[in-house]
Structure 1
């Protein structure tokens, strides 16, 4: 019997677990009482990890090349040869990547480095990615989620927008415990949900953003915003308030939401007079809602303080790790964009042979590029239910379709090459929860058959393509160290993402890594990672 402290990996909360393993892949799962994300709590999905781990039935346990079993040496050679031929003939931008939201940060880092630094492409399809990331980057200057779970306990009021929290039972339990301890809970939804609250504002579908934008205007018109914070820390565009005025007065908001003007005014007055407010909302909600929440917190100065913050709930298990490593279409790496100085810096650090010049395509735009023949190869990695229809079409549009998966059922689905991946209980590395908490995922069981980690496959292909000097990883700790060094490289404080403290971490220290949160309290001095140090309204 062995006890392994690891991660649940079923959603973005990042709950810690204790896996008590036995022979024959039997395991008992319980919440880790020492993990700050859940303190021992665990929902049904986390507890079900043990059932999924017991069987290898339906697993892909060896590579398949053109439908036929092959050893790893031949498979890696085939992948490298075919990708090299496409890259040589069609140039940068001819290869695309799809990544699921449940990979480890080490997998994302190697995938991103390979496609952007050596294939010269930023085409990365990530349908699970929250829209909030763009709003945060526009408002704060960097894709930083400013909240921590402890803010829920420190708040005076929690504004819960939508029903997204029902997908995160452990987080909901924490909210309910805060309410029982005296925190006021206000629900803002367009449906009835089984959550006890002090106030439930039920609005017409799609009107929550209008209500919150109206609160922004109301606070301005009544002089209740934090004028000092606005002047010092927020760059308000010329004409912003007049542009916001149409449709956001209380009477217009009442017509749009179905609430009475009296109820709206009472909510506005309560929100603006409560110093410590946490606004919880789904990160994959509309861009308008994300902007309204962020702008309201900026205007009132309710950010960068304990118990006062916007809090976008992430759905993907390690979507934050993907964003930190840059494994998305519109970011280069380590929260850097494609500006010339950032490209030059990352090209030097990576020893890049062919660095992507700008943001890539995803979604329907990427499918169009495949139909037009501009993209000739797709490598899909990891489970992603949201992408099933997209993948079905995509794999039929490109001459070379590679799939890294743990599921044998994908055999015969039109993939050129299938690569056997590790299942979650066999993965080893790190992931970041929705509040910037980095934790260690430790495997419960050894890799079965010829299954391998995703970072290993990517590394071996890169080496076979002639880039061994840049891809020399032998273990996840090698990748984590490099990722940490990149976040600190040339970072004179302009970016909050800085894992410098772990750049020299030893292998034993990595193995024993305990959860830690980067960024301390973001924006606590009212300064933002923008050229003038001020935020912008999203």
Structure 2
């Protein structure tokens, strides 16, 4: 979509860059983006002020998308057993692998594993091929790891997977509950809307989270709930809504069933406020405050995310939240409703087309009626007759040898699934593994593959995505496909043709697929299924290309989407009612033990995404949290002999990782927190997925990654240091290290049990720095540095010492970015600091403008004593705003002398 065509009559020898409206590649907020290619393979990125999801705002990850478009890491050609081949041979091999497996072992010996980062059109054809033409439902998605419990909870309560509300409700709410959501970091654009509502209308914010996150630091009330006890909290709320006569009795009577049983169940789970507070591990006064605020505030939105979903009782947690909104009639109304904040950019689109193993397309299930309907629409010769294996069960079946052939698209199960080490081994047991991927460094996946297919990346893809508020947006290409890369939908359709299904998969473009998807949503649908986008089923190619963001339902004849649902009922159970759900007794399914006395909670950091295959390419995103870490409460640190900044080994029955220790009272006693992002491509012995157990929710099949029994112990490191280099370095497997991209190169930080001098010698030999004229050895301090310059440019610098050296690292990174180092600066190369270090010290706080904590502290001492004042002086916090809670906390610490 060209939004900057040259004016009539304007002549130019060089065409102007054409801005393209597209959608961000990251979380489920679904922000609109304007990308302007630079003609060199990159693009300038800006927020789209016309997109309803973000109104021009972008978080730092979205703003940095232009820094992630390089192709140096890309897979550019098909390969069979690691040898480059043609597309014809590669596609023939994939079709043969599937056909041979079906012929020898049946269709259920084949599986597809998909991703919430696929476009809806990719998802649609993958599901159609597997469930309608191969004849198996063994097609699941990494969305199973993040949102499956929400899907199951919605279906139990509403009859369909429906988010009832819209983002505008965050602007109009008087109380926002954030449960299991570090919104300031994981959904920053929505967090800005919430904070603006707080400033404009006095909206109160309550966080419910075992950790005191930066989101909690900015909340009016934080409830540090015990792991797994969310449903106890909401059960008690339901009891008090009934006891205080705050029920919407008319709504309950007209639109729901099962309330009495749900209330009796809630009374059993949380018979008194005192008992509920004790089980939840929260102060009874704080619990009372939460309940009073809820009862007094009709405009209440409850946002929930991974902390609710990623649990062995995640579906019950979701239904506990839905129960209180149904009981109070606070659903589908302005400023009121339960709101699932989706993790991935197109998890919702995947749910629409049946991307989960327990669903058919267009929100249909595996009833005989739905199977028949979808089969007739597709003219499918081999319709799957029942649910397939969900993600964890799918890979357990691979381990057992039941699934023989697998096609993985746009995700890496070897890094992200529970028991990641075992999954790596299972992938090598397959008779056939096809991988559609962009990243040549996909951890262990590429090495195990029979066939590797180069896929299209963000910026090259063409199709649609659906965000958390049911808004369908176009993702448009603005870059050419590099090498021989091809879109995922094209790859799937070409394999389908080779399997003999050419007529059913003869799509000319994503627009053709989308029209069929929209038509299926309306097929024999007289309002029984709320997912209906029949109004889009006849879009011409030009109209599809120009499609503006639109919410569903959008049935035939409709000219505008629907913002809110269920305020007047209209549920999609056969009886037309919402169903209150009776909850199982809330207990931790995996208990601590003498061998594993702590619980591990996993999650994200602010500036990284999943396994960093995209965000890891951006220099500014690397600075905020540049290496793997584990957070430990001070009392646990003392108990287990851990010191802030040192290293610890964290182990479970499934694996071990070695992480830097962060001691913080934001972490609960008895629990640890570690982020999920680092893999062997970006670190060594830091894959947190290797620790996670395979315990899943019995309803949704979603794995529990928030309460994993683990042990921790000191892991002595005598030497630490860093390498800055202009090229990617092959690092020795024995070295604990982490990589990050910086301007003009990369930084590798490392630690080792070896003494600093011995380690420096080993690494100098490894890096061929032994004979460099730039060497500094100070045995008294344990400091050793070596560097190499070529034509007055720093090529590589190695620093080894007993302790971390953040100032030295910042200086070395600054030197690496210099095109030429003058004589006056050259003598400071090994000094570990610039001639003047003012403002350049400390960790990066604001990634948008590269502002470090040292600069903020200097500005504060000079009188900038508020977040707003810091913004005026340094610009920090004035763009995406996700660093504002940290700036606020830093200023508060300075005032308190911390």
> TM-score range, shorter-chain basis?
over 0.9
Deviations 1:415-457 (A, max 9, x none): 1000000111211100001111100001120111110000000
* 1:177 paired residue number: 196
Output the CA distance in 2 between the equivalents of 1:312 and 1:30: 26
Determine the C-alpha separation between the residues in 2 that align with 1:476 and 1:527. Answer: 32
- Summarize the Cα distance change of 1:325–1:298 in structure 2 as closer, same or farther, 3 Å threshold: same
- Superposed CA offset, 1:174-214 (max 9, x none): 11111111122222232323342333333334333311110
Residues 510-532 of structure 1: per-residue CA shift (max 9 Å, x gap) = 11111011131211321201111
- Structure 2 equivalent of residue 152 of structure 1: 170
User: How far apart are 1:245 and its partner, in Å?
Assistant: 1.5
2-side partners of 1:239 and 1:437: how far apart?
35
**Partner residue of 2:827?**
none
CA–CA distance in structure 1, aligned partners of residues 448 and 283 of structure 2: 56
Off by >6 Å, runs of 4+ in structure 1: none
1:403 is aligned to: 435
Match of 2:416 among 380, 386, 390: 386
Contact persistence 2:165–2:333 (CA under 8 A): no
SS in structure 2 opposite 1:431?
strand
CA contact (8 A) 2:493 2:506 kept: yes
Q: Is 1:98 aligned to 2:107, yes or no?
A: no
Match of 1:535 in 2: 578
Secondary structure of 1:307 counterpart: coil
The alpha-carbon deviation at position 460 of structure 1 amounts to 0.5
Matched ranges for 1:7-22 at <5 A: 7-22=23-38
Q: Kindly provide the CA deviation profile for residues 50-100 of structure 1, in whole angstroms up to 9, marking residues without a partner as x.
A: 1111x2112111110122211111222222122112112222211101112
Deviation of the 1:260 alpha carbon:
4.0
For 1:240 and 1:51, the matched residues in 2 are separated by: 51
Query: Residue 88 of structure 1 corresponds to which residue in structure 2?
Result: 103
Q: Where does residue 194 of structure 1 map in the other structure?
A: 214
Given that 2:435 and 2:446 are in contact with CA atoms closer than 8 Å, whether structure 1 keeps it comes out as: no
Q: Say which of 66, 69, 73 aligns to 2:81.
A: 66
Any idea what SS the aligned residue of 2:459 has? helix
Are 1:254 and 2:277 an aligned pair?
A: yes
Q: Which has the higher helix share?
A: 1
Deviation at 1:2, TM superposition (A): 1.5
Offset, 1:241? 2.5
Counterpart among 550, 560, 568 of residue 525 in structure 1: 568
Aligned CA distance change for structure 1 residues 381 and 179 (closer, same or farther; 3 Å):
same
**CA–CA distance in 1 between the matches of 2:97 and 2:303?**
46
The answer on 1:48 being equivalent to 2:76 is no
Assess if the C-alpha contact under 8 Å between 2:398 and 2:404 holds in 1. yes
Q: CA, structure 1 residues 412+320, in 2 after alignment: closer, same or farther (shift >3 Å)? A: closer
Residue 299 of structure 1: aligned partner: 327
- Distance in structure 1 (CA, Å) of the matches to 2:247 and 2:162: 23
Distance in 1, Cα, partners of 2:289 & 2:63: 42
More displaced 10-residue stretch of structure 1: 229-238 or 175-184: 229-238
Asked whether 1:344 is paired with 2:387, we answer no
Deviation, structure 1 residue 334: 0.7
2:251 paired with 1:229: yes
Q: Cα RMSD (Å) of the superposition?
A: 1.7
Provide the rounded CA distance (Å) in 2 between the counterparts of 1:373 and 1:91.
13
Unaligned runs of 5+ in 1: none
Matched, 1:320 2:348: yes
Gap change, CA 1:416 and 1:164, over 3 Å in 2: same
Q: Identify which of 272, 276, 285 aligns with 2:299.
A: 276
Q: Distance in 2 between matches of 1:6 and 1:231?
A: 44
Measure how far apart 1:390 and its partner are.
6.7
Does the CA-based 8 Å contact 1:304-1:526 persist in structure 2? no
Give 1:208's aligned residue: 230
Give the aligned partner of residue 491 of structure 2. 457
User: 1:389 Cα deviation (Å)?
Assistant: 5.0
Distance 1:65 1:262 in 2: 64
| Larger CA deviation: 329-338 vs 19-28 | 19-28
- Length, aligned pairs only: 537
How many Å separate the matches in 2 of 1:363 and 1:81? 24
Q: CA deviation at 1:156?
A: 1.9
1:237 CA displacement = 6.0
CA–CA distance in structure 1, aligned partners of residues 163 and 80 of structure 2 = 42
Contact 1:94 1:375 in 2 (8 A): yes
1:494 equivalent in alignment to 2:528: yes
Q: CA–CA distance in 2 between the matches of 1:26 and 1:469?
A: 38
**Given the superposition, is the C-alpha separation of residues 137 and 369 from structure 1 closer, same or farther in structure 2, using an over 3 Å criterion?**
same
Q: Distance in 2 between matches of 1:395 and 1:533?
A: 45
Q: Distance in 2 between matches of 1:389 and 1:431?
A: 32
What is the alpha-carbon distance in structure 2 between the residues aligned to residue 409 and residue 259 of structure 1? 44
- 1:396 shift after superposition: 1.4
Which SS does the other structure have where 1:293 is aligned? Answer: helix
Deviation at 1:222, TM superposition (A): 2.9
Q: Is the 8 A contact 2:208 2:223 kept in 1?
A: yes
Q: Counterparts of 2:509 and 2:571 in 1: how far apart (Å)?
A: 35
Q: CA 1:33–1:237 in structure 2 vs 1: closer, same or farther (change >3 Å)?
A: closer
1:370–1:58 Cα change, 3 Å? same
Spell out, residue by residue over 1:360-388, the C-alpha distance to the aligned partner (whole angstroms, 9 max, x if none): 11233223322333311100000345246
Tell me by how many angstroms 1:466 deviates. Answer: 0.9
Q: Check whether the contact 2:152–2:161 (CA below 8 A) recurs between aligned residues.
A: yes
Post-superposition Cα deviations, 1:197-244, rounded to whole Å, max 9, x if no partner, equal 333333334333311110011112332211111111111166432232
* Other-structure match for 1:38: 54
Alpha-carbon distance in structure 1 between the residues aligned to 2:472 and 2:269: 42
Q: Distance in 2 between matches of 1:304 and 1:46?
A: 29
2:29 and 2:446 map into 1 onto residues whose CA distance is 35
1:107 match: 122
The alignment partner of 2:143 has SS state of coil
The alpha-carbon deviation at position 391 of structure 1 amounts to 5.1
Q: Give the whole-Å Cα distance in 2 for the aligned partners of 1:484 and 1:361.
A: 27
Which residue pairs with 2:290 in the alignment? 267
User: Deviation of residue 259 (structure 1)?
Assistant: 3.5
In structure 2, C-alpha distance between the alignment counterparts of 1:464 and 1:404, rounded to whole Å: 17
How far 1:273 sits from its partner (Å)? 2.9
1:319 Cα deviation (Å)? 0.3
Matches within 5 A, 1:107-146: 107-129=122-144, 130=147, 131-146=149-164
Kindly indicate whether the alpha-carbon contact (under 8 Å) linking 1:158 and 1:186 is maintained by their aligned counterparts in 2: yes
1:433 correspondence with 2:467: yes
Show structure 2 runs of 5+ residues with no match.
1-16, 554-561, 582-898
Select the structure with the greater relative contact order (CA < 8 A; seq sep ≥ 6): 1
**Deviation for aligned residue 1:39:** 0.8
* Matched position secondary structure for 1:341: helix
